[in-house]
Copies of this chain bind each other. A is one copy, B any other.
Amino acid sequence: MALAGGIGGARFLRGLRLAAPDAEITVIGNTGDDISLFGLRVCPDLDTVMYTLGGGINEEQGWGRADETFTVKEELAAYGVGPGWFGLGDRDFATHIVRTQMLAAGYPLSAVTEALCDRWKPGVRLIPMTDDQVETHVVIDDPEKGRRAIHFQEWWVRLRASVPARSIAPVGADDAKPAPGVLDAIQDADVVLFPPSNPVVSIGTILSVPGIRDAVAARTVVGVSPIIGGAPVRGMADACLTAIGVETSAAAVAAHYGPDLLDGWLVDETDTDVEVPGIAVRSRPLLMTDERAAADIAGAALDLARELTKDAE
């Protein structure tokens, strides 16, 4: 099973599905990025996993739907209704309309996600980390409004993380419960994988839900570094790491997870000499240039997990 954020997580999972076609894969999805826009509930990470594994993703962009149009968004702008900085396409809108209608009818997000996956058939079981509302907020020094907390998406998408984050917090996490099935899936897992997702606002947020970190720590855990050569493979993980005082390096991220949580760590072949006490480090090519490359990385992560499980026996 795996914890997953957005694009990097989804591409890794597609590789994992290819590398282990007979495995029952459960994915715990990050919901800290979720946001209500135009009265609709948007779950970017869950949808990226669902669309990517379900064959509906915009491949070039990495998020959103293929063959997308933006008529609804243009019309909303014509009404003067924003925000305009979040790119919701017409096909994507339908997902959020269905989700919002089901949530309003009383279904928990986990049931809604299952219903949406009935269409997409991602080949994995996708469960949100929690049915409770957790929203990642970022504290910034706004040039105009002073220090204030904004929604993660506003910082990430509107500001492109250009304003330094003073702190990043999953608001609501303390009182959140893991969604039904989350803890059982972790406990039943042969191995827990951390895809090359953002260690702070994706994996970190999932681990912030009480009970999940402890359950994961009890399993064999192998992670794939999202940092290659001191920079994030994609996205702006460096800005997030800086905010929590962690260096942007494969070694520092592994140390941040720590040996209590992480048993094995895959780093890129260019990251030589990475050593983290208590964590087995292996280096290999980590660029997910295509589905096959992602499968090779996932296979290597599984190999390392088997090796570590065997060692532990």
Contact = CB atoms under 8 A, between A and B. Distances in A.
Interface in A144-199: none
A69 B98 CA distance: 19
A76 interface: yes
Binding site of A, secondary structure by majority: helix, strand, loop or mixed? helix
A218 interface: no
A65 to B, nearest CB: 8
Contacts of A246: none
A35 to B, nearest CB: 14
B98 A71 contact: no
A116 interface: yes
A60 interface: no
A81 B98 contact: yes
Interface string A234-264: 0000000000000000000000000000000
Nearest to A70: B90
Interface in A70-102: 71-73, 75-76, 78-81, 90-91, 93-95, 97-98, 100-101
Contacts of A93: 72, 75, 93, 97
Nearest to A116: B79
Contact of A72 (B76, B90, B104): B90
A39 interface: yes
Contacts of A98: 38, 76, 79, 81
A312 to B, nearest CB: 44
Interface of A: 38-40, 69, 71-73, 75-76, 78-81, 90-91, 93-95, 97-98, 100-101, 104, 115-116, 118-119
Given A71-B94, A72-B93, 13 more contacts: A38-B98, A39-B100, A69-B71, A71-B71, A72-B97, A73-B94, A75-B91, A75-B95, A76-B97, A79-B94, A79-B98, A79-B119, A81-B101
